Amino acid sequence: MEKHQIHYGTQPIDFWIERKDVKNVNLNIKPDMSIAVSANEKVPLSFIYDFVKSKGSWILKNVKQFEDVLPLKQSEREYVSGESFKYLGKQYRLRVEPSTEEKVKYFRGFIHLLVSDPTDYCKKEQLMEAWYNEKAYKVFGESLNKMAVVMKKYGVDKPALDIRVMKARWGSAHIDNKTILINTELIKAPKYCIDYVILHELIHFKYNNHSESFYNMLFALMPDWEKRKKILDEEIVREL
């Protein structure tokens, strides 16, 4: 990938261009706020510059939201009753309750954080992260089982599943290890978005690239994948 820059008014916009075998010019703001553009080798650089400039207002608006929201949510997270936490695409209020049995449970529209010392920030953070990880393995596993049945018809065996917090991507296919790595934060997205990411990575076991054949299969198996991806990139990432 090559780094480029255009100016939208007086504001510089840095972006990366990756040449791929794709039909359209695609622009994506990643969770780390970097801007990636994919385009066919035949697309002139001047066209890409004009395309990015035409998206300038949208780019600056969304980058500003990421800059404002992400640091604020991370610095102000206190794990106290009333705080909002995202799970499977919805916001839920937290209820911190003293208990000798320390755990997190989802019940009647609330996330209940049971902890012996409600003032112990580290313990509360640990319990919440463990709960998210547990849910991630369960939900991602269910999605993998469902999508693997679809891909089995195309000669793709179900790979192993691993999860990890990642800055710049929702998932990654490790072909040699027969494993897909999924961003733990994806548990905050709706299930239909999780299905999209899982299917995307599974197709890489058939086409280990983003070629026309890759996208043809993705469109055939999930015609509305672009809508699901847009929800991830424009809505869910703001809550991370």
Residues 155 and 71 reside in one and the same domain: no
Any domain includes 114: no
User: Would you place residue 48 in the very low, low, confident or very high pLDDT band (cuts 50, 70, 90)?
Assistant: very high
pLDDT in tens, 169-179: 899 999 999 99
Q: Are strands 90-98 and 110-115 parallel, antiparallel or unpaired?
A: parallel
The fraction of the chain above a pLDDT of 70, given in percent, is: 91
Pairwise CA distance, residues 75 & 89, whole Å: 22
Instruction: Give residue 237's pLDDT.
Output: 57
At which residue do the structure tokens 């916001």 appear?
91
Boundaries of domain holding 174: 120-239
Q: Is residue 185 part of a domain?
A: yes
pLDDT, one tens digit per residue, over 80-96 is 999 989 999 988 999 99
Give the chain's domain count: 2
Averaged confidence pLDDT in the chain: 88
CA distances from 43 to 14, 28, 110 (A): 19, 17, 50
User: What pLDDT does residue 45 have?
Assistant: 92
Q: 86 lies in a domain?
A: no
In a domain, 184, yes or no: yes
Confidence at 62, pLDDT banded by 50, 70, 90: confident
**Res 66: pLDDT:** 61
| Domain at 227, CATH number | 3.30.2010.10
For residue 15, being part of any structural domain is answered with yes
Confidence class of residue 74 from pLDDT cuts 50, 70 and 90? very low
Examine residue 100 and state whether it is found in any structural domain, yes or no: no
Decide if 19 is inside a domain.
yes
End-to-end CA distance of the chain: 26
Q: Residue 231: inside a domain, yes or no?
A: yes
Q: Are residues 201 and 136 in the same domain?
A: yes
pLDDT for the residue 60: 86
Q: What mean pLDDT is predicted for residues 186-197? A: 95
Does 170 lie in the same domain as 235?
Answer: yes
Which residue has better confidence, 135 or 28? 135
pLDDT single digits (tens) 96-117:
999 999 999 988 889 999 999 9
For the whole prediction, is pTM greater than 0.85?
no
Q: How confident is the model at residue 240 (pLDDT cuts 50, 70, 90)?
A: very low
Same domain for 171 and 226? yes
Contact (CB, 8 A) for 124 and 113: yes
Please indicate, yes or no, whether residues 138 and 58 belong to a single structural domain of this protein: no
